[in-house]
Structure 1
Amino acid sequence: MAIWADSLFKKSKTTIMPYEIPTSLVTEGPFRTSRQPIYLGMTLILFGEAILLDSLITFIFPVIFIILMEKIFISVEEKNLEMAFGEKYLDYKKKVRRWI
């Protein structure tokens, strides 16, 4: 999912970097069901690793990852998207959930 989302950024010729202003609003592919499919994909990988390692303590890492992404990156990304696309992004935000 993360690779697919990354390819859509490249196809749209917009930045994938959270602290840069995007030039295109990507709403196709996995972005139809999640505003954060890359972080979602990474989180699923972390949960998968926790399951494979079969250790309760490893389940803390996906939770920490989600909290960090929310606080450090997603809030900045969403502000940049609102600045760049205004009402278009706000409409998208109303229709599509952040994670799933």
Structure 2
Amino acid sequence: MIARLAGLPPVWLVLFASAGAALGRLVPLGLPPALRGLGLVLVAAGLGLMLWAALTMWRARTTVMPGRRPEALVTGGPFRFSRNPIYLADLILLAGLMLALAAPAGLVTVPAFALFLQRRFILREEAVIAAAFGPAYDRYRMQVRRWI
């Protein structure tokens, strides 16, 4: 059960968000109210990007689950700008949460989470996609960056 949960990026998002919030409590820094509002905007933007990417994948009839073989190479919608828009959305959401919770010290978890996602999920997913779609994925990878 724990191994199965560890394979789900949202579980890791919750863990990194919890660590960031705890760090924000341990190292309280002043935060202007406008930045808390910006945090809410970032949370909404992250959720919106996540939904857009998931709907794009659903329309292409392919999985959003990490580790599963994709049925289609998705290059439209937010995938025109990022090869990993859902993971990018996770980072935007995490940054927004740290600001909305007035825990700016917790922003250090954002680059740490990006590195974790890349090593734990993205590199493996890229290998699976490359094996499944070969030259088509190589062309896409040359045109679209991993993050933005």
Which interval holds the TM-score relative to the shorter structure? over 0.9
1:39 partnered with 2:87? yes
Identical pairs, percent: 38
The alpha carbon displacement at 1:64 in A equals: 2.1
Runs of 4+ in 1 over 6 A off after TM superposition: none
* Shift in Å, 1:32: 0.2
Q: Secondary structure at the match of 2:145?
A: coil
Aligned counterparts of 1:10 and 1:21: Cα–Cα separation in 2: 14
Q: Distance in 1 between matches of 2:79 and 2:95?
A: 21
Structure 2: gaps (5+ residues): 1-48
Which structure 1 residue ranges, 5 or more long, are not aligned? Answer: none
User: In structure 1, what is the equivalent of residue 118 of structure 2?
Assistant: 70
Q: Who wins on radius of gyration, i.e. which is larger?
A: 2
Aligned Cα root-mean-square deviation (Å): 1.1
CA distance in structure 1 between the aligned counterparts of 2:67 and 2:108, rounded to whole angstroms: 26
Q: Distance in 1 between matches of 2:146 and 2:91?
A: 13
Question: Separation in 2 of the partners of 1:35 and 1:99?
Answer: 6
Distance across 1 between alignment mates of 2:101 and 2:61: 38
